[in-house]
Structure 1
Amino acid sequence: MDTDALTPARLRQLRAHKPYPAVSLTMPTHRAGQDGEQDAVRLRNLMAEAERRLGDDGVDRATGAGVRAQLERAVAELDLRQAQDGLAILADAQEYQLWRLPRSVPERVVLSDSYLTRNLVSAKAQARPYWVLVVAADRTTLWSGSGETLDEHTGDGFPQTRPQEDFDPQREERQGDTASTFTDEWTRQYLREVDGAVGSILEADPRPLFLVGLAPALSVLRDAGPATAAAVGRVVKGGLTDGPAAELLKELRPALDEYRTRHAAAVAGRLDAARGRKVFAAGLDEVWGAVRDERAALVVVEEHFQRTVRVTSGHLQPVDPSEPDDEEVREDIVDEIVETALDGGAEVIFVPDGTLTEHGGVAAELRY
Structure 2
Amino acid sequence: DGYCVSLYMPTIKLGAETQQNPIRFKNLMREAEEQLIKSGLRAQDARDLLQPAQEIDNYEFWQHQSDGLAIFISKNVFSYYCLPLNFAELVVVNDRFHLKPLLSLLTGDGQFYILALSQNQVRLFQGTRYSVNEIELENVPQNLAEALKYDTADKQLQFHTGTPQGGGGDRAAIFHGHGAGNDEEKDNILQYFRQVNEGLQELLKNQQAPLVLAGVEYLFSIYKEANTYPHLLDEGVTGNPEELKPEELHSLAWKIVQPEFEQAQQTAVERYQELAGTGQTSNNINEIVPMAYYKLIDTLFVAVGVQQWGYFTPDENQVELHQQKEIGDEDLMDFAAIHTLLNGGTVYAVEPEAVPDNTLLAAVFRY
Query: Structures share a fold, TM > 0.5?
Result: yes
Give 1:41 shift.
Answer: 1.6
Tell me what 2:79 maps to. 97
Give 1:236 shift.
Answer: 5.2
Q: Is the Cα–Cα contact under 8 Å of residues 114 and 126 in structure 2 kept in the other structure?
A: yes
Q: Structure 1 CA distance, aligned partners of 2:201 and 2:62?
A: 35
Tell me what 1:326 maps to. 326
Tell me what 1:263 maps to. 264
Q: Structure 1 CA distance, aligned partners of 2:188 and 2:362?
A: 50
Q: Structure 2 CA distance, aligned partners of 1:25 and 1:338?
A: 16
Q: Structure 2 CA distance, aligned partners of 1:116 and 1:311?
A: 14
Tell me what 2:185 maps to. 183
Tell me what 2:210 maps to. 208
SS at match of 2:242: coil
2:70 matches 1:87: yes
Structure 1 residues 288 and 100, CA, compared in 2 at 3 Å: closer, same or farther?
farther
5+ residue gaps in structure 2?
157-176, 312-317
Code of the aligned partner of 2:128 = S
> Residues 92-241 of structure 1: matches in 2 within 5 Å?
92=75, 94-100=76-82, 102=85, 104=87, 106-108=89-91, 110=93, 112=95, 114-117=96-99, 119-120=101-102, 123-125=105-107, 127-149=109-131, 151-157=132-138, 160-163=142-145, 165-166=150-151, 167-168=154-155, 177-178=179-180, 180=182, 183-203=185-205, 207-227=209-229, 230-235=231-236, 237-241=238-242
SS at match of 2:137: coil
Greater shift after overlay, 345-354 or 34-43? 345-354
Greater shift after overlay, 286-295 or 269-278? 286-295
Code of the aligned partner of 2:340 = A
Structure 1 residues 135 and 328, CA, compared in 2 at 3 Å: closer, same or farther?
same
Tell me the alpha carbon deviations over residues 174-204 of structure 1, each in whole angstroms, 9 at most, x when there is no partner.
x974455993554334323322343333249
Tell me the alpha carbon deviations over residues 285-327 of structure 1, each in whole angstroms, 9 at most, x when there is no partner.
554464356543221235xx4334455995657x6xxxx6534
Code of the aligned partner of 1:339 = I
> Residues 284-323 of structure 1: matches in 2 within 5 Å?
284=285, 287-288=288-289, 290-292=291-293, 294-301=295-302, 305-309=304-308, 311=310, 314=319, 316=321
Q: Structure 1 CA distance, aligned partners of 2:277 and 2:33?
A: 54
Give 1:280 shift.
Answer: 1.6
Give 1:283 shift.
Answer: 5.4
Give 1:265 shift.
Answer: 3.9
Aligned residues: 332
Tell me what 2:6 maps to. 25
5+ residue gaps in structure 1?
1-19, 170-174
RMSD: 4.3
Structure 1 residues 159 and 82, CA, compared in 2 at 3 Å: closer, same or farther?
farther
Give 1:269 shift.
Answer: 3.6
Give 1:132 shift.
Answer: 0.9
Q: Is the Cα–Cα contact under 8 Å of residues 137 and 182 in structure 1 kept in the other structure?
A: no
SS at match of 1:251: helix
SS at match of 2:236: strand
Code of the aligned partner of 1:260 = F
Code of the aligned partner of 2:339 = T
Give 1:338 shift.
Answer: 1.0
